[in-house]
Structure 1
Amino acid sequence: MHETDPRAARRDPASSAGGFTDLATSPFRIDRDRIIASPFFARLGGVTQVVSGGDSGLLHNRLTHSLKVAQVARAIAERITGASESAELAAKLGGCDPDACEAAALAHDLGHPPFGHLGEQTLDRLARHRFGLADGFEGNAQTFRILTTTDVRGPSAIGLDLTTAVRAAVLKYPWARLHRPSPHPSAMAQPPRGAAEPDDAPGTGSSKFSAYVTELDDFDQSRAPFAGRIEQWQQTVEASVMDTADDIAYAIHDLQDFHRIGVLQHAPVAAELGEWLEHAVELAGLDDARLGAELRRPGRSLERMRRRMHLKDGWIVDDEAFAAAVARVRHELVDGLLATGFDGSTEAEQATAAFSAKWSSRLVDGVFLLSSPSTRSGHLSLRPAQWHEVQVLKFVHRRFVLLRPDLALHQRGQASLVTTLVDALESWLLDRDEVSRLPRRLHDLVELAHDEYAGIAHAAPELLVGATGERVQGPDAVRSLARGRAVVDFVASLTDRQAVTLLDALSGRSGQPWSDSFVL
C-alpha cells in the first residue's frame, strides 16, 4: 500500500489485534502513547546527557532532556499552525501536527547508548573496525531501528507501528551513511548539516545519518509520501521542529545544569566573551596560525568559532548579529546567572528557572518557516538574532564544559568500559559451550540481525559492504555481521548503571549470581 498523503496513519485496520489496545483515538496520540510506554523510553532516565549525574537529580539525563524537547517542540508546532500563513506553507510541505512533533521529540534520543555521545563514538568505532559493519553505529539511526524493528510493543511485535509522519519526523538526518538517497547528499557542493564525510575518515560516508542498511525499506516507506513536497535530503517540517527544539533545549538546559553543580564558572566565561567584545577588530586581524597558537588566551576560541561559522553557514552568519549575540549572552548569562554562584537557595533556584524560561520563550519566538531554505537549514529556522544566540550559548557549553580535562578523564574510562563489555559479549557469543546460556534478549537480537542480513544478501547483495568498502559474501560473513549488530544493539539498549553492572558480572567482580543488568 502506497500513500500520497503524509498525514496518513500507515496502519493496518487491525492494528489493535493480538490484545494490544490503544487508549487514544488520534493516530499521533497513539504514537505518543506507544513511545512513552516503551522500555527504551523508560531507560533514558538512566542514560547520560553529558556526564553521569548519579542520583542527585541536579543533571539532566536523556529522559528529562527528551521531555523538555517535547515541550519546546509542541510550542513551536502550535505557533506554526496558529498563524494562517505558516500553517498554509506547512501543509504544502507535508504538514505540521503538534502531536506528531511532540511524539518525534519524545522518541528522538531512544537510540542513545550508555554514556552519551562518548558511548556513541566508541560503539561506532567498534562496529566498523571490529565487526566490519559499514554503517557502524549512530544514535539517530539506532532510534529509527528501535521504532521500526527492535522494539516489540507494537501490534505486529516488530517495532512500534508508528504513523508515516512520526517515523519521518524522527529522521533528523534523512539519509543513510552510504546508500540513500541517490545521489547521496554527501556529494553535494554544500552538503546538509551532518551529511559530509568526517575529515579524518574519507570514504566512510556521512558523519551523521538516520538509517542503517537494515532499515532502508522502512526509511523509503517513511519518506515516500513527502516526494515532490520536499527535497530528498531535506527534513520534513515536523523533523525540523524536533531538531530545532533539541537545539534550543540543549543550548539552555545544559548550561543550567553545570551552573547548578558549580562547573560553569563566572570568571573564565566572562573573560572569553568580554575579551572578544573589547578586541573584536584586533582578533579578526590575526592570521589563522597565530590564532591557533593563542587559543588558550581569552577571546581566541570565540573568534575561531566566528570564522568557522562564515565557512559553513554563510547563508545566515552576520558579524553584527554575532556581536549582538555575544553581548546578550554576556549580559544575561555572565552578568546575570553566573554572577552569583548557585548555593541551593530559593533565590538561586528561582534565578535558574527564570533564565531557562526567558531564553526558551525568546528562542521559540524566533522560529519561522522558509519555503526554500539553504541546504544547511531545515524548512524551520531561527531568525538571525536567535540563531546566533544559540551558537554562542552552545559555544559556552562546549568550551567550558565539554573540553574540560577532568571530563575527558571520566570519559576515557567510560570508553574503556564499553570496549571491554563488547569484547566480553562477543567472546560469549563465540563460545560454543556457552551459547545455550546466552541472555535471551541477546540470542533474539542475533537471530533478528541474521534474518535481516541474510535477506539483504539474497535480495540486494550490493548493499552488503564491509567497513573498507569490500563486498561481504558467504554465510560466515553474514553471521559475523549479525553477531556484530546484535552486540551493538544489546549494549546500546543498556543504561549507564546496567553497563557497569553487566561488566562486573562478566568479569567476575560481582558476588551476586542473579542480575537484571541485561533485561530490557
Structure 2
Amino acid sequence: MTERGQAKYDDTRTSAIDLDPGSQPVAKAPSGLDPRHARAVPEAVDPHAHPTTDFRTDLERLRFSPYFSRLSAVTQVVPQASVGPVIHNRLTHSIKVTSVARAIAVGLQADTGPAGNILRSLGGCDPIVVQAAASAHDLGHPPFGHLGERVLDRVARERLGLPEGFEGNAQTFRILTELDTHGAAQPGLNLTSAVRAAVLKYPWTRLEWRDNFTDLPPSERPRGVGDVSPTGAHKFSTYSLHANEVATVRAAYPAIGAWQQTVECQVMDIADDIAYSIHDLDDFYRAGVLQQASVSAELRTWLREQSLFARMPLADLAARPRDPGNSLELLRRRTASRDAWIADDDAFRAAVERVNEELVDDLLSVPFDGGIATERALSAFIRSWLDRFQRAIVVDPAPNVRSGHVQLERQAWHDVIVLKFVHARFVLDNPDLATAQRGQARIVESLVVGLDEWLTDRDDAARAPRRLIESAEAATESYLQLRADNPEVLSGPTDDASMRRRGRGRAVIDYVATLTDAQAISVAGSIRGIG
C-alpha cells in the first residue's frame, strides 16, 4: 500500500472511535457562521432568521430546478411505455426516498440518548438537509436509467477522451455546483455545505481509486469502490473538476472520516436502498415482470439444498448462474467475502425465508389485476416492509469502512440485499427487456457520437445547439484551470488540444445526460435524419 493510501485508510478506520458521545465538535468559521451553512458564494443573511432557513432555501431551490422536474420523464427501471402510468419514474422514486429519509431523520434528531449524542458530535442529522439530499440524489441520472449510465460511461472513456467517464452521482454534484443556475452571480445552485456534503454517497474521484489503494482487498474498501479496475472506482461522487469543492464542504464535518459519508448522507443512502428494494417491487408486480414460478424456483431450491450449494465449486456456480439457486449462493458467498463485518449465514437464510414467504407465497401468488384486492395486498406488503426497515435503524460510533455511523441492523441489512437480488436477477437481467434495452443503448451512443461530430464539423459547428456550444467553452476553461492549479489529478495527455477535447467531450456528456427518455429518442432521430 502507498504511504498516502495507508494514511487515508488509518484515518478512516479510527476517526470515530475516540469520539466523546457528548461532545459537539462543530467548527465555527472566523465570522461565527456554522460552516455547514456556508455557501460557495456568500449571500445576504437575515440575522433574525432561524438557522434552518438556509436549508429550507436549498430544498426549495432543488424543487424548483428544471433538473428536478425532468426526472418525471426519466426511466426508473421499467420503461413507462411498458405498462402505463402507474410505473415509477425517477421523480416519484426521489419523492418516496425523501419521505423515507425524513421519517428516519426525524427519529434520529429527536434521540436524546447516547446515539443522538454521537450523531450530534458528527455534525448532526437535520431532517431538512436529508430531504434536500434525497430530492437531489438522482439528478445526474441520464435517459434510460442505469442502462444509459453504463453506455455514457463507456463512450465517454472510449470515444471522447474522458478518463473519468460518466457516473450519475458525480453528475449530480456537477449539476448542483456548476450546470444548474440560480441567479446570474455564480454557477450552480449555490447550496449550503451541509446539502452539498449530503449528496456525496461516494466521496472520492474515480481515478484516485485507480492510482492509489489498489492493494487493499475488497473487504477493506468503501462500499461502491468494488473491484478496482484500470478505469478506477466503480462508483464515485465527483469528477476531478470539482474535487476541491468536495474537500471544502467536507471540511465542515471534521469528525467524519475520509471515506465516510456525513450522517445526513447516510440517512439518504439508506432511504434510497429501502425505496429501491421495496417500492420498485410495486412496479414489477403491477407490470407482471416478476413471475412467481421463476422467483420461487430460485429461492426454494436454495433453501432446500443449502448445504449442497455450500459445497459446490465456485467455478460450477459461476458457469451456470441461471440454474435455480446458483445465483443466490453466489450472492451469499460474495456477501460473506466482502462484508464479513456483518454477514451471517443464519441471517441470510432468514432473509431468504422471509422474502419467499411474504413476496413469493403471499403477494405473487395472485397476479396483479388492477382490482381492489390486489391493490390492498400490494399496499399491505409495502407498508409492512417499510415499517420494519424504519424501525431497524441503529447508530455505530466506529463503523466498518464499508458501512456508516447510521445503518440497518443485521437482519434488516440481509433482508435488503435479498430483495435487491430479486430485483437484479429477475428484472434487470430479464431477457424480455433485452431488445428494448439494446435499442436504447444505441440511441445513447448515437447521440454522443453525433453531437461530438457536430461540434468538430468546421462547416456546421456554429449551428450546434447554443447550450452545447457554451457548455463546451465553459468546460474547456475548467479543464485548463484545473491543469494550471492541480495538474497531478489529470490522467493522460494535457496539451491544449487534449484539454479542448476533454471540454468538448464533457459538454456532450452533460447535454445528453440532461435529456429525458423521449427527448433522447427524438434528438437521436433528428441527428440521423429519421422521423
User: 2:126 maps to what in 1?
Assistant: 97
User: 2:148 maps to what in 1?
Assistant: 119
User: 2:510 maps to what in 1?
Assistant: 489
User: 2:84 maps to what in 1?
Assistant: 56
**Alignment pair present for 1:194 and 2:224:** yes
Q: 1:14 to 1:300 in 2, by over 3 A?
A: closer
On the 8 A contact 2:109/2:124 being kept in 1, the answer is no
* Cα distance between partner residues in 1 of 2:44 and 2:241: 23
Q: 1:146 to 1:185 in 2, by over 3 A?
A: farther
* Cα distance between partner residues in 1 of 2:380 and 2:123: 36
On the 8 A contact 1:11/1:161 being kept in 2, the answer is yes
* Cα distance between partner residues in 1 of 2:443 and 2:521: 8
Identity %: 50
Q: What is the Cα deviation at residue 156 of structure 1? A: 2.8
User: 2:187 maps to what in 1?
Assistant: 158
* Cα distance between partner residues in 2 of 1:71 and 1:186: 38
TM-score normalised according to structure 2 size: 0.89
Q: After the TM superposition, which residues 140-151 of structure 1 pair with which residues of structure 2 at under 5 Å, given as runs? A: 140-151=169-180
Q: What letter is aligned with 1:373?
A: P
* Cα distance between partner residues in 2 of 1:113 and 1:293: 33
Q: Secondary structure at the match of 1:225?
A: coil
**Bigger shift: residues 32-41 or 154-163:** 154-163
User: 2:207 maps to what in 1?
Assistant: 178
Q: Secondary structure at the match of 2:266?
A: helix
Aligned partner (choices 58, 61, 77) of residue 31 of structure 1:
58
**Alignment pair present for 1:498 and 2:528:** no
On the 8 A contact 1:125/1:136 being kept in 2, the answer is yes
User: 2:499 maps to what in 1?
Assistant: 478
Q: What letter is aligned with 1:426?
A: D
**Alignment pair present for 1:106 and 2:143:** no
Q: What is the Cα deviation at residue 294 of structure 1? A: 4.4
Q: After the TM superposition, which residues 179-258 of structure 1 pair with which residues of structure 2 at under 5 Å, given as runs? A: 179=208, 188-189=216-217, 190-198=220-228, 202-227=229-254, 229-258=255-284
* Cα distance between partner residues in 1 of 2:60 and 2:321: 48
Cα deviation code 1:239-261 (max 9, x no counterpart): 11111100000001111101101
User: 2:13 maps to what in 1?
Assistant: none
Q: After the TM superposition, which residues 285-300 of structure 1 pair with which residues of structure 2 at under 5 Å, given as runs? A: 285-300=311-326
Give the count of matched residue pairs: 496
**Alignment pair present for 1:450 and 2:476:** yes
Q: 1:84 to 1:183 in 2, by over 3 A?
A: farther
User: 1:513 maps to what in 2?
Assistant: none
* Cα distance between partner residues in 1 of 2:44 and 2:515: 29
Q: Secondary structure at the match of 2:36?
A: coil
**Alignment pair present for 1:267 and 2:293:** yes
User: 1:365 maps to what in 2?
Assistant: 391
* Structure 1 unaligned blocks of 5 or more: 511-520
Q: After the TM superposition, which residues 239-388 of structure 1 pair with which residues of structure 2 at under 5 Å, given as runs? A: 239-388=265-414
* Cα distance between partner residues in 1 of 2:58 and 2:140: 17
* Cα distance between partner residues in 2 of 1:184 and 1:174: 15
**Bigger shift: residues 384-393 or 273-282:** 273-282
On the 8 A contact 1:24/1:30 being kept in 2, the answer is no
Q: What is the Cα deviation at residue 327 of structure 1? A: 1.0
Cα RMSD over matched residues?
2.2
User: 1:66 maps to what in 2?
Assistant: 94
Q: What is the Cα deviation at residue 357 of structure 1? A: 1.2
Q: 1:490 to 1:253 in 2, by over 3 A?
A: same
* Cα distance between partner residues in 2 of 1:230 and 1:260: 42
Q: 1:12 to 1:479 in 2, by over 3 A?
A: closer
Cα deviation code 1:295-334 (max 9, x no counterpart): 3332222111111111111000111111111111111111
User: 1:409 maps to what in 2?
Assistant: 435
Q: Secondary structure at the match of 1:344?
A: coil
Q: 1:419 to 1:460 in 2, by over 3 A?
A: same
Cα deviation code 1:315-374 (max 9, x no counterpart): 001111111111111111111110100000011111111111111111111111111111
On the 8 A contact 2:94/2:138 being kept in 1, the answer is yes
User: 1:516 maps to what in 2?
Assistant: none
Q: What letter is aligned with 1:458?
A: A
Q: What is the Cα deviation at residue 188 of structure 1? A: 3.8
Q: Secondary structure at the match of 1:396?
A: helix
Q: What is the Cα deviation at residue 157 of structure 1? A: 3.8
* Cα distance between partner residues in 1 of 2:408 and 2:324: 28
On the 8 A contact 2:282/2:378 being kept in 1, the answer is yes
User: 1:79 maps to what in 2?
Assistant: 107
Q: Secondary structure at the match of 2:300?
A: helix
On the 8 A contact 1:186/1:206 being kept in 2, the answer is no
On the 8 A contact 2:41/2:190 being kept in 1, the answer is no
User: 1:518 maps to what in 2?
Assistant: none
Q: What is the Cα deviation at residue 219 of structure 1? A: 0.9
On the 8 A contact 2:149/2:166 being kept in 1, the answer is yes
* Cα distance between partner residues in 2 of 1:273 and 1:195: 28
**Bigger shift: residues 295-304 or 438-447:** 295-304
Cα deviation code 1:165-196 (max 9, x no counterpart): 1100000001111249x995655441101124
Q: What is the Cα deviation at residue 2 of structure 1? A: 5.5
On the 8 A contact 1:128/1:134 being kept in 2, the answer is yes
On the 8 A contact 1:186/1:195 being kept in 2, the answer is no
Q: What letter is aligned with 1:210?
A: S
Q: 1:205 to 1:154 in 2, by over 3 A?
A: farther
User: 1:514 maps to what in 2?
Assistant: none
* Cα distance between partner residues in 1 of 2:487 and 2:343: 44
Aligned partner (choices 417, 429, 444) of residue 391 of structure 1:
417
Q: What is the Cα deviation at residue 290 of structure 1? A: 2.9
On the 8 A contact 1:185/1:192 being kept in 2, the answer is no
Q: What letter is aligned with 1:489?
A: D
* Structure 2 unaligned blocks of 5 or more: 1-27
* Cα distance between partner residues in 1 of 2:213 and 2:142: 26
Q: Secondary structure at the match of 2:394?
A: strand
Q: 1:214 to 1:397 in 2, by over 3 A?
A: same
Q: What letter is aligned with 1:441?
A: R
* Cα distance between partner residues in 2 of 1:252 and 1:146: 28
